[in-house]
Amino acid sequence: MYCNPDVKWYVECMTNHEFPAGSERAAPCAGLRIGDLAPDFSARSTTGDVRLSDYRGRWLVLVSHPADFTPVCTTEFVALARAAEEFERRDCALMALSVDSLFSHFAWLRMIRDRFGIEVRFPIIEDPTLVIARAYGMVAPQDSDSATVRATFFIDPEGVIRAMSCYPANVGRSTQEMIRTLDALQAVDEGTGLAPANWEPGESLLRHPRATLEDVFAADGQADWFLQHAEQESSR
């Protein structure tokens, strides 16, 4: 595994970061924020060498998992592999990462194929030195446990982190929710509105709240100025 200088620089920043007293064990997933450029890296993976910046121009979901050959992780990879076409249909690549070696990944993927009849064809990166995991906050900076948390990063075609989640080792993620989040991000990028709770493709978006006092006073109902479905706008 080799990293470009950006990641080394970022890791130095992370390691030199001063945490407030009492927070020496900073929470994983605390390193990056929505809106940050995803740190670039190059690494060995099950599909050959990969470079994050090569994915510019399409969406990317980057997931980390605690360890190969563990029960929950195995169910997640079976689910992701089965959903791979759904991501592809949304022009979204998948990439996974753990601290396990490339040969562990290979053996695990073979076991998954033989036991579950599904081939995991998206790249799984090896990160034995944790340099990527630390850059992305997938492990706490001072943590001696090398297992990465279940972090998920939604990276847009410009390389910007648009959403992320962090699950513990004992709870598997929902592939359906990943796809729904991706759908919502792509829908709001079309500029027509905001995705409400439990939004699904085909449902209406919310309109951006009114920005002037005149608009607020002119609105019909008490909540109409800030809470309205986008399609209602044309009927006003």
Q: Which of 169, 185, 188, 219: binder of ligand BEZ (CB under 6 A)?
A: 169
Q: Which of 28, 31, 39, 66: binder of ligand BEZ (CB under 6 A)?
A: 66
Smallest distance from the beta carbon of 216 to ligand BEZ, in angstroms? 50
- Backbone angles phi and psi of 49, in degrees to 5: -70, 140
- Backbone angles phi and psi of 92, in degrees to 5: -125, 125
Residue 234 DSSP label: G
Stretch that binds ligand BEZ, among 10-18, 52-60, 64-72, 211-219 (CB under 6 A): 64-72
Smallest distance from the beta carbon of 213 to ligand BEZ, in angstroms? 53
Token pair 């990028």 is at which residue?
189
Q: Are strands 161-167 and 42-45 parallel, antiparallel or unpaired?
A: unpaired
Give yes or no for residue 170 binding ligand BEZ (CB under 6 A): yes
Give yes or no for residue 80 binding ligand BEZ (CB under 6 A): no
Instruction: Count the Cβ atoms, other than its own, within 10 Å of residue 212.
Output: 9
Instruction: Count the Cβ atoms, other than its own, within 10 Å of residue 57.
Output: 9
> CA 138 to CA 32: how far, in whole Å?
10
Is there a catalytic annotation at residue 29? Answer: no
Structure tokens at 148: 């990465």
Give yes or no for residue 62 binding ligand BEZ (CB under 6 A): no
Stretch that binds ligand BEZ, among 34-42, 63-71, 130-138, 195-203 (CB under 6 A): 63-71
Tell me if 143 sits within 8 A of 48, measured CB to CB: no
* Residues 130-159 within binding reach of ligand BEZ (CB under 6 A): 147
Smallest distance from the beta carbon of 72 to ligand BEZ, in angstroms? 3
The one-letter amino acid code at 179 reads I
Residue nearer to ligand BEZ on the CB measure, 29 or 72: 72
- Backbone angles phi and psi of 206, in degrees to 5: -90, 150
The one-letter amino acid code at 115 reads R
Catalytic residue among 3, 13, 29, 73: 73
Residue nearer to ligand BEZ on the CB measure, 37 or 67: 67
The one-letter amino acid code at 137 reads G
Q: How many residues bind ligand BEZ, per CB under 6 A?
A: 9
Question: Which positions from 87 to 126 touch ligand BEZ by CB under 6 A, shown as an x/- string?
Answer: ----------------------------------------
> CA 94 to CA 61: how far, in whole Å?
5
For the annotated catalytic residues, the residue numbers are: 73
Enumerate binding residues for ligand BEZ (CB under 6 A).
66-67, 70-73, 147, 169-170
